[in-house]
Structure 1
Amino acid sequence: MPPIAAWRRLLAEFLGTASLVTAVVGSGIMATTLSPDDVGLQLLENSVATAFALGALILTFGPISGAHFNPVVSAADWFLGRRTRTGLTPAELGGYIAAQTAGAIAGSVLANLMFDLAPATFSSKDRSAAHLWLGEVVATAGLLMLIFALVRSGRAAVAPAAVGAYIGAAYWFTSSTSFANPAVTIGRAFTDTFAGIAPAAVPGFVIAQITGLFVGCGLLLALYPSAGTTADEVVVEHDTARTA
């Protein structure tokens, strides 16, 4: 049977990223409503909802597109797999990034509408600081190492739980609360709520995430020199999906 059509993969990336941002933004809005005077509890509620949602979304869309939902994951998939001709092609990479970014913006708009807010309002939450950028480098590099190490070691089946757990934990151990995703960062600029980021702070976060991409890929090549041979399986095994 033929491989999965490109439009289905792009639709999966759009819907998955949109759903992820809806979960991040929506749970942030709900957290501030339920716990208005406790920022720590708000972060706990936001991180738990995001972690569980991410795991579920990887299970839902992974068999179709690999459930990247993140330009740095897609870029690493292309970069690591380019020599062995596995993973995404340059054209597929461009499509994934466009679908993820559009999905992230749509996710913020949907969350805003669900909570009776203006569809899109630029965030006023400034997150411009060197220590936050460092947090994004750490969060992004760690995410990539986890994903590709799982695939290289034949444990891709546990990726939904492991990736969700990592992001949930990284909310707490990184100074930036672990955006670790350029598309999600852009999408979160369109909501002036708990999970928002001011548009002026977006470039700094994206540059830090790209830096994390290079750091993560460098560490992966040092620790798992043949990581690129399994790029086709990121994030969820594709052997059966590609013939569906």
Structure 2
Amino acid sequence: MNRARIFLAAMPALAGPAGAANVAMAFGDNLPPFILVKEDAGIEVELVREALAYRGHVLQARYLPMGRIPASFKTRAVDAIMMDVGEDMTPHGGYYGTPPVIYDNVFYTLKRSKLVIRRPEDLQGHTVISFVGAAARYPVWLQPLTRGHDYVESNHQESQPLLLALGRYEIVLSDRSIFQYYTRMQRKREPGFVMPPVDEHSFIRADAGDYRPVFRSAAIRDDFNAGLAHLHKSGRYRAIYDKYLKD
């Protein structure tokens, strides 16, 4: 029995005032390393599963397109959602919890390029690849680029480290953990691959409020928050991240 299973097996004994419950929770549809649908795993999924298990609850993950997540809560198809996707769930009986993860998007450049990115204008004249929907999320920074041919949005983020390393694009916009994960996967696919030194350019401050889970039960929300705090305190939180991001 591995450490994670031992950890989870011991948790039901800590059942709190909400009592043990099966919690059907909607997550986004596949976003490695945070959400791995086929494996019913990923950083985000494992953190939520273990935080709920701290007081005896059992996660039943439901994977949906992002646009369907708010409706799944409002129609009572699920007991909780990983995030509200910009729609306040309080009027629909939602209780907000502590975010288990916060996506931290930054610009990556090769260190040898010596690019400096401090203002939107600094992106002009350079080739940029990002995830789909990035220009809509960061219009001040990216919308001007969409009028040219040097800006591309792609769902295939697994190719970003290689494209940057080969110089196909000068700038990559990615979450730090996603970029690190796919760099690791590239090394596994090609053992001889070496990622050149890169610079990270922060350009916005992530809003933790955008990543808060929503629960139908205030008691289960409280149990989840307690479990998440325990994961931080025990070191298990970091261990789950390291499982996906370190060799």
TM-score range, shorter chain: under 0.3
Q: Structure 1-normalised TM-score? A: 0.26
Give the strand-richer structure, 1 or 2: 2
Which structure would you say has the larger RCO, counting Cα contacts within 8 Å and 6 or more residues apart? Answer: 1
Instruction: Give me the TM-score of the superposition, normalised by structure 2.
Output: 0.26
